[in-house]
Chain A
Amino acid sequence: MAEQKHEPKIAAFLCRWCAYAGADLAGTNRVTYPPNMIPIRVPCSGRVEPSWVIEALREGADAVLIGGCHPGDCHYVSGNYKTRRRVALLQKVLEELGVEPARLKLTWVSASEGMRFAQVVRDYVEEVRSLGPYRGQFGAPQELHEVEENGGQVVREAVSHG
Chain B
Amino acid sequence: MAKPRIAMYWTGGCGGCDVSPLEVGEAIVDVLSGVEIVFWPALMDAKRAHVEALPAGSIDAVLINGALRTEENMEMVRLLREKAKLIVAYGACAHLGGIIGLGNLHSAQSLVDTALGEDWQASAPVPGANGDAPPALTAGVVPLSDAITVDYVVPGCPPPAQLIGQFFRGLLEGYMPDVGHVFAEEKALCDQCPREKEDRPIERFVRPHEIEPDPDKCLLDQGVVCMGPVTRGGCEAACPKLGMPCTGCVGPTRKAGDLAGGMISALASLVRAGEEGEDVFAQEDEILDGLVDTVGTLYKYALAGTWKRGSGGGGK
Contact = CB atoms under 8 A, between A and B. Distances in A.
Interface string A123-162: 0000000000111111110010000000000000011111
B277 A86 contact: no
A136 B312 contact: yes
A49 B256 CA distance: 10
B264 A86 contact: yes
A160 B267 CA distance: 35
B265 A50 contact: yes
B145 interface: no
A68 to B, nearest CB: 13
The CB with the most chain A CB atoms within 10 A, among B104, B112, B257, B314, is that of: B314
B258 A89 contact: no
Contacts of A49: 257, 261-262, 265
Contacts of A135: 312-314, 316
A92 B295 CA distance: 9
A110 B264 CA distance: 26
B138 to A, nearest CB: 8
A143 B262 contact: no
Interface string A57-71: 111111000000001
Contact of B112 (A57, A83, A162): A162
Nearest to A93: B294
Interface string B294-308: 110011000000111
A138 B309 contact: yes
A29 B292 CA distance: 46
A51 B313 contact: no
B107 A161 contact: yes
Contact of A162 (B109, B271, B312): B109
Interface string A92-107: 1100111000000000
A82 interface: yes
B106 interface: yes
Interface string A21-64: 00000000000000000000000000001111111011111100
Interface residues of A, number: 44
| Residue among A81, A140, A143 with most chain B CB within 10 A | A81
Contact of B265 (A60, A71, A86): A86
A73 B262 CA distance: 26
A88 B288 contact: yes
Contact of A98 (B105, B139, B281, B314): B105
Interface string B235-268: 0000000000000000000001110111011011
B284 interface: yes
Contacts of A138: 105, 307, 309
26 contacts: A49-B257, A50-B261, A51-B260, A57-B313, A60-B314, A61-B314, A62-B313, A81-B277, A82-B268, A85-B284, A86-B265, A89-B294, A90-B264, A96-B294, A97-B105, A98-B105, A135-B313, A138-B105, A139-B107, A139-B309, A140-B106, A143-B106, A143-B107, A158-B309, A160-B107, A162-B112
* For the complex of A and B, 10 pairs with smallest distance between CB atoms: A60-B314, A51-B261, A162-B109, A136-B313, A161-B108, A51-B258, A85-B268, A50-B261, A50-B264, A86-B268
Given A52-B261, A58-B313, A162-B112, 6 more contacts: A50-B262, A54-B261, A135-B313, A136-B312, A158-B107, A161-B140
